[in-house]
Homo-oligomer: A and B are copies of this chain.
Amino acid sequence: MKLLAEWRESAETWFTRLRDRLCDACEALERASASAMPAGRFERSDWRREGGGGGTMALMRGRVFEKVGVNVSTVQGEFSEEMRRHIPGAAEDPRFWATGISMVAHPLSPHVPAAHMNTRMIVTTRHWFGGGADLTPTFPVDEDTRDFHAALKAACMAHGKDHARYKRWCDEYFFLPHRNEARGVGGIFFDYLDDGDPALDFAFVRAVGDAFLQIYPAIVTRRMNRPWTEAERRALLIKRGRYVEFNLLYDRGTAFGLKTGGNVEAVLMSLPPAVAWP
């Protein structure tokens, strides 16, 4: 059986490789676009975290993706007094280690849904995986919503995970109580995943990444060459305002990043490039 240190290395390596594949897929979409604008290319920048670790932010501004970022990071350190009370296993020992990948895509077209995918491995005196993927269209299309959920359901089914539970968790998590409104059309969300065998849990986490890598570019391809009106673009900018409200008011990942001294640009990479509040 593998040691925990080996799982940590495997997770970090796999997240880095997934980042490369996601970036390649997004750049391929840029090249495939019929737009007259120039195709985008990712630019990468490394950052170091005071206190331990760091990451790489890959960011592209293109003609399909007005802004898309893929972050990988591996950080370690000690949780603050306040955070120890909220993180499993941190009360006994405040030290933590975490590796993860996070992607947020904000397409230029109001017909192409925004998307978010994140998977991570956290180690305190305990260890677990977390993550998910969800879709945020301005104008939901049944076919896209159905196919997105189906891809994630297949990943769950293949690894014995309860898709209905993870889908519900996603709906509950990505919700704006002050507006009584969902952020998007959902997907899956899971956390504190430790079903006893890290090999099985990690296989599932890989499957979530693979499923997202398969379905999201397929949906983008369907919608990216459809023309849009100024009114539709305006609706997109307003929809993005809700995205900002969610991320700054409620998102735990944002709070975690800002409170643990994560790189501000990387933590806030999720914020859309242009937003409107009516």
Q: Residues on A close to B: CB < 8 A?
A: 67, 178-179, 237, 241, 244-245, 248-249, 258, 264, 267-268, 271-278
Docked complex Cα distance between A244 and B247 (Å): 11
Docked complex Cα distance between A2 and B248 (Å): 44
Which listed residue (B67, B245, B274) contacts A248, Cβ 8 A? B245
Which listed residue (B178, B273, B277, B278) contacts A277, Cβ 8 A? B273
Which listed residue (B179, B237, B278) contacts A264, Cβ 8 A? B179
Contacts of A244 in B (CB 8 A): 244, 248, 275
Ordered by A's residue number, 12 sampled pairs between the chains whose C-beta atoms are within 8 Å are: A67-B277, A178-B264, A178-B267, A244-B248, A244-B275, A268-B277, A271-B277, A272-B277, A273-B278, A274-B275, A275-B276, A275-B277
Contacts of A241 in B (CB 8 A): 271
Docked complex Cα distance between A237 and B275 (Å): 9
A178-B267, A244-B244 known; 20 new pairs, CB 8 Å cut-off, are A67-B277, A179-B264, A237-B274, A241-B271, A244-B275, A245-B248, A245-B268, A248-B248, A248-B249, A249-B258, A268-B277, A271-B277, A272-B277, A273-B276, A273-B277, A273-B278, A274-B274, A274-B275, A274-B276, A275-B277
